Chain A
Amino acid sequence: MNVVSMRKLYSRLQSLLFASASVIVFFILWELAASYLQSPYFPDPYSVLKAFITIITVGDIDGYTLAWHTLMSLERVLLGFAVGSATGVPIGLLLGIKPTLKNAVTPIIEPIRFIPPIAWIPLSIVLLIGMYRYVFLIWVGVFFPVLLDTIAGVKRTSITLIQMARTFGADNKNIITKIIFPSSLPEIMNGLRVGLGVGWMCIVAAEMIGGEPVGLGRLILKYANLLQIDTVIVGMITIGLVGLAMNYFILFLEKRMFRWRVEIRA
């Protein structure tokens, strides 16, 4: 083993050490806060761990285990994410290519994107049923990041590359598929990653109105009504960890896909 890789290993060990130290400190502070407050509504880490194990092995009051809750939520979010990407990317490409159209719809899009998903709940209750409610609320979270990053990606496309393609006789279809789309792909992927994260964060809002008794958001709401905060925290932690895992998964994909990017080389 040479000096460079030794040094690399050392710095990796060091950052691992710091990371675990901060996790340990967090749990100690939590424990201290819990024993100081002595409140039934502020559980200590140990009771949350117990609730975790119960939900994983036995399931909740309706018998649904944590894996089942997670899977159902994932299914809903991925469905909303699929619809959000399938609308955000093409519309973003179109608006990026046609600035006049983009200017025309900006006064509509800009205010709408600041309306939080929760504000859409009453309308979706009145207008939608079943799976459509979930999908719509998650779509609200996914669509805008995807749309805006796709537009930004199109705008970043080099004019020289487009002209180069024209000199070879490329038509508009070629220019979109062979130049604009691949050139915007890093921004599009970034938008998809952010969109998936935001969509995942909409899961509690979506499951508030979904009606079905299963899903991580539902788990939180159910146990909030029972005032059993330890299980509520189990739901919160699971949402956080799954979101983190999805984010890293897309980052990993990005790294593999964009080896050609100078920025990613390092």
Chain B
Amino acid sequence: MDKAILLESVSKKYDVGSSSLKVIEDLTFDVNKNEFVCVVGPSGCGKTTLLRIVAGLEPPSSGRVLVFGRPPDPKIQRFGVIFQEDSLLPWRTVLGNVEFGLEIQNYQEAERERVAKTFLELVGLQGFENYYPHQISGGMKKRVAIARALAIDPDLILMDEPFADLDAQTRSLMQRELLKIWSKLNKSVLFITHNVEEAVFLAQRVVVLTKRPSRVKQIIDIDLPYPRARLSPPFISYRERILTAFHEELEGI
């Protein structure tokens, strides 16, 4: 079976004037089909760069990136990317936003509307089709972004700290809903976060990155059934294990 994502000694450096900035160095890990993997690392460690490389938005400086066995290309493969920042089109309604990806993928108009409505229902936004983004809350905007990403039936879901800007209650609600959707749709997910608890709550596997330039510090399987209780002793022990690794990196800065 093809891996959903395969990263082999991936490095990325940017030229800054005459010197070069190494963001990622010799990064190797993979994501299995239908697996939910979280990447945690200190801020500024190149997590977003990693996601951009996996999404085919920029090539690695060296190493190999394969998504379902081929170099990632959003023109050929289907990626559902959810950004940290608000990425809704403010001039389109909620429905129009969900239809956006389908338009790019050349769905017929009637089909677009049908599919978009199905996914708005999945994220619990039926009845909000004709609202504009400025009329809905931050959590609802995230739901729209998720519906938009899922509507194109992506091969791979990439999430870049999607819930970082939300308040604590909304964030934990969104995490639970995301897991519900994931178990329903069977998708491979790469979820980037700096929130260790979020990673333990969501992921089957957590990849801890070192500080810049990023390498894999540790990969930890979270062997807990869903839904997970945040206050259960095994949850806390996983959290502590990852926090320890994480803090070693923070102190090194």
Could you tell me if A259 and B132 are in contact, using CB atoms closer than 8 angstroms? yes
Across-interface contacts of B57 in A (CB, < 8 A): 163, 166-167
> Contacts A164-B81, A166-B57, A169-B75 given: A260-B105 contact, CB under 8 Å?
no
Could you tell me if B83 and A179 are in contact, using CB atoms closer than 8 angstroms? no
Give the distance in Å from the alpha carbon of A166 to the alpha carbon of B86 in the complex. Answer: 16
* Contact surface of A with B, Cβ cutoff 8 Å: 160-161, 163-171, 174, 178-179, 182-183, 185, 258-262, 265
Q: Which of B42-75 contact A (CB under 8 A)?
A: 55, 57, 74-75
Could you tell me if B74 and A166 are in contact, using CB atoms closer than 8 angstroms? yes
* Contact surface of B with A, Cβ cutoff 8 Å: 55, 57, 74-76, 78-79, 81, 83, 85-87, 89-92, 100-101, 103-105, 132-134, 152, 158
Across-interface contacts of A179 in B (CB, < 8 A): 89
> Contacts A167-B57, A167-B74 given: A160-B85 contact, CB under 8 Å?
yes
Give the distance in Å from the alpha carbon of A168 to the alpha carbon of B152 in the complex. Answer: 9
Across-interface contacts of A178 in B (CB, < 8 A): 100, 103-104
Can you name 19 A-B pairs with beta carbons within 8 Å? A161-B89, A164-B81, A164-B87, A165-B104, A166-B74, A167-B55, A167-B57, A167-B81, A168-B79, A168-B100, A168-B104, A168-B152, A169-B104, A178-B103, A179-B89, A182-B91, A183-B91, A185-B91, A258-B91
Contact for A170 among B85, B104, B134, CB less than 8 A: B104
* B148 CB, nearest partner CB in chain A, Å: 8
Could you tell me if A260 and B91 are in contact, using CB atoms closer than 8 angstroms? yes
Could you tell me if A160 and B83 are in contact, using CB atoms closer than 8 angstroms? yes
Across-interface contacts of B85 in A (CB, < 8 A): 160
Could you tell me if A260 and B134 are in contact, using CB atoms closer than 8 angstroms? yes
Give the distance in Å from the alpha carbon of A170 to the alpha carbon of B79 in the complex. Answer: 12
Give the distance in Å from the alpha carbon of A260 to the alpha carbon of B101 in the complex. Answer: 20
Give the distance in Å from the alpha carbon of A230 to the alpha carbon of B40 in the complex. Answer: 79
Could you tell me if A168 and B89 are in contact, using CB atoms closer than 8 angstroms? no
Across-interface contacts of A164 in B (CB, < 8 A): 81, 83, 87
Q: Which residue of A lies closest to B55 (CB)?
A: A167
State the 5 A-B residue pairs at the shortest beta-carbon distance, nearest first. A167-B81, A164-B87, A168-B104, A169-B74, A168-B101
Contact for B104 among A174, A261, A262, A265, CB less than 8 A: A174
* A167 CB, nearest partner CB in chain B, Å: 4
Q: Which residue of B lies closest to A185 (CB)?
A: B91
Across-interface contacts of A166 in B (CB, < 8 A): 57, 74
> Contacts A160-B83, A167-B57, A262-B134 given: A182-B89 contact, CB under 8 Å?
yes
Give the distance in Å from the alpha carbon of A165 to the alpha carbon of B158 in the complex. Answer: 14
Give the distance in Å from the alpha carbon of A182 to the alpha carbon of B74 in the complex. Answer: 23
Could you tell me if B79 and A167 are in contact, using CB atoms closer than 8 angstroms? yes
* A185 CB, nearest partner CB in chain B, Å: 7
Give the distance in Å from the alpha carbon of A259 to the alpha carbon of B131 in the complex. Answer: 11
Across-interface contacts of B74 in A (CB, < 8 A): 166-169
Given A161-B89, A167-B81, A260-B132, 8 additional A-B pairs, CB 8 A: A160-B87, A163-B83, A163-B87, A164-B81, A168-B101, A178-B103, A260-B133, A262-B134
> Contacts A165-B104, A178-B103 given: A171-B75 contact, CB under 8 Å?
yes
Across-interface contacts of B103 in A (CB, < 8 A): 178
Give the distance in Å from the alpha carbon of A260 to the alpha carbon of B132 in the complex. Answer: 6
Give the distance in Å from the alpha carbon of A56 to the alpha carbon of B214 in the complex. Answer: 79
Q: Which residue of A lies closest to B133 (CB)?
A: A260
* A159 CB, nearest partner CB in chain B, Å: 9
Across-interface contacts of A169 in B (CB, < 8 A): 74-76, 78, 104-105
* B42 CB, nearest partner CB in chain A, Å: 23
Across-interface contacts of A265 in B (CB, < 8 A): 134
Across-interface contacts of B81 in A (CB, < 8 A): 164, 167
Across-interface contacts of B133 in A (CB, < 8 A): 260
Across-interface contacts of A167 in B (CB, < 8 A): 55, 57, 74, 79, 81, 158
Across-interface contacts of B90 in A (CB, < 8 A): 260-262
* A250 CB, nearest partner CB in chain B, Å: 18
Give the distance in Å from the alpha carbon of A242 to the alpha carbon of B83 in the complex. Answer: 48
Point out which of A164, A168, A182, A265 has the most chain B C-beta atoms below 10 A from its C-beta: A168
Give the distance in Å from the alpha carbon of A167 to the alpha carbon of B148 in the complex. Answer: 12
* A78 CB, nearest partner CB in chain B, Å: 27
Across-interface contacts of A182 in B (CB, < 8 A): 89, 91
Could you tell me if A168 and B87 are in contact, using CB atoms closer than 8 angstroms? no
Give the distance in Å from the alpha carbon of A164 to the alpha carbon of B55 in the complex. Answer: 11
Give the distance in Å from the alpha carbon of A183 to the alpha carbon of B133 in the complex. Answer: 14
* A70 CB, nearest partner CB in chain B, Å: 35
Q: Which residue of A lies closest to B80 (CB)?
A: A167
Give the distance in Å from the alpha carbon of A222 to the alpha carbon of B119 in the complex. Answer: 68
Give the distance in Å from the alpha carbon of A261 to the alpha carbon of B152 in the complex. Answer: 27
Across-interface contacts of A258 in B (CB, < 8 A): 91
